[in-house]
Structure 1
């Protein structure tokens, strides 16, 4: 079976798989999920075994993943009787569990979670001592549930986006699941707004199919396929990613790898973003600078709140 949360031995805390992905690509932190050990998030179950009783990670380091990231039991992973993470607890839906995210966070926190690495004390045998009865302290500024269930909150944008995309065929579920961002609470279905309807409401997660990505070497412009209609006229929509924004981004290498691959990709790609609402602007014409034309445009302010990805079935 797959699950979203596990205990990180190196960080002495419970992380979602999206936290792990975020840390893997973060150039400001010394973290590598391949060098960490991830254990059962159930405190009682974890206390019953040593640190070799680890889980595996799926899509923890793949920049452009197609199937939902998750933790998973290895064939050697053991659990105590009654632990809900044992493979014997499989349900009928688990056969296709790689394609769907069922752990919906109820809040997307705009302040990035801070991870405090514990300082390991190495024994004379070269091993890291482990107190099996120790419960993770959850030092994070983003409060996580004290039990072993999936955290109610996340600061990683990919998590709510994956919930929306992988469940796009279940509108009733998306309409019933609540999501809070800042002071605004709505259903997932309401919060995710197609780019052509961006005038309907501000402060939402806008998304749309990418028509083209303009590569200006050190900056990029993402043009959307759908247009916005205003006063019976169609207007193009785009978002701009500045050189300064990209250069200062903590996951710069991973982002450049992703967007450069997207520029040349022949696959259908979609862009999801939060934090800015494109507004109608008058732009000088290249052919005749004295003339202008209207376009809905915005400068992205936080790359943590923008995702370019495949999203099969959304349209």
Structure 2
């Protein structure tokens, strides 16, 4: 059985698997999921066992992944009767059901969640106490931590993107699932807009197949395959990632590893981003600087809101 949320022993709070991935790559946080212990998010169930009754993670540390990351039970993990996280079937690896993300957050919070490492109190015999949870971690979003269910909110862009990508063949589900970003509420289907239709509405999550990634050593430009048509003319679309943006990014090393691999990749890759809408600009021609040509372009403002990844099943 796979699930999205677990209790982190080292952080003394419930985290989604996307929170864990975010922390693993964050160079400003001294965190390694391999050194943490993840326990059942059900408070009553967790309190019934010692802290060694842990879960495992799938795709928590891979910079690139093709299959949905999640927590899962180990063969030795036990749950109390009636716990919703008890495995309903026995599998050796638990990887037969990890192709779709079923835990859709209803809100993407634009302010990043922050974490404060704490030493959790323990009861007798190394058990986590069954009493009320302590004051939750310092955070800037209001994601749910008191419940054992998957939080309705997330500040990790990869979570709503994975929901969309892994269910891209189920239009009815995407049209039924609500998503709020800022003051705008729509369905997942409406919020994700193909790059060639970016003129339809601003403030959406734009995405498209990458034609080429220009590596300028300290900066990058992502060119999309599809063009935007305006006044019966096709215009190229790109987004620019500046040197300053990359140098100041808290996950700089992981990002550079990912994008440099993408530059040389021969596999079809897609880019998803939020926060900017490419606008028509006049760019000087390299051959003749006195001449200009039109291109839809935007400077990415937040790398937390940009993802480059494979998208199985989109073709």
TM over 0.5: yes
- Match of residue 173 from structure 1: 173
Query: 1:88 is paired with a residue of what secondary structure?
Result: coil
Q: What aligned pairs does 1:22-61 form with structure 2 within 5 A after superposition?
A: 22-61=22-61
TM-score (norm 1): 0.94
- Match of residue 125 from structure 1: none
Deviation at residue 193 of structure 1 after TM alignment: 0.1
Deviation at residue 263 of structure 1 after TM alignment: 0.1
Superposed CA RMSD in Å reads 1.9
- Match of residue 209 from structure 2: 209
Indicate if the aligned counterparts of 1:49 and 1:132 stay in contact, CA closer than 8 A: no
- Match of residue 153 from structure 2: 153
TM-score (norm 2): 0.94
- Match of residue 141 from structure 1: 140
- Match of residue 314 from structure 2: 314
Deviation at residue 314 of structure 1 after TM alignment: 1.8
Deviations 1:142-173 (A, max 9, x none): 22332110000000000000000000010000
**Is the deviation greater in 130-139 or in 255-264?**
130-139
Indicate if the aligned counterparts of 1:50 and 1:132 stay in contact, CA closer than 8 A: no
* Distance across 2 between alignment mates of 1:3 and 1:147: 14
- Match of residue 21 from structure 2: 21
Q: What aligned pairs does 1:228-307 form with structure 2 within 5 A after superposition?
A: 228-307=228-307
Structure 1 95/256 Cα, relative in aligned 2: closer, same or farther at 3 Å? closer
* Distance across 2 between alignment mates of 1:220 and 1:152: 34
Q: Which runs of 5+ in 1 are unaligned?
A: 123-127
* Distance across 2 between alignment mates of 1:74 and 1:12: 21
Indicate if the aligned counterparts of 1:212 and 1:222 stay in contact, CA closer than 8 A: yes
- Match of residue 75 from structure 2: 75
Structure 1 311/135 Cα, relative in aligned 2: closer, same or farther at 3 Å? farther
- Match of residue 9 from structure 1: 9
Deviations 1:9-50 (A, max 9, x none): 000000000000000000000000000000000000000001
Query: 2:104 is paired with a residue of what secondary structure?
Result: coil
Deviation at residue 211 of structure 1 after TM alignment: 0.1
Q: For this pair of structures, how many residues does the alignment match? A: 309
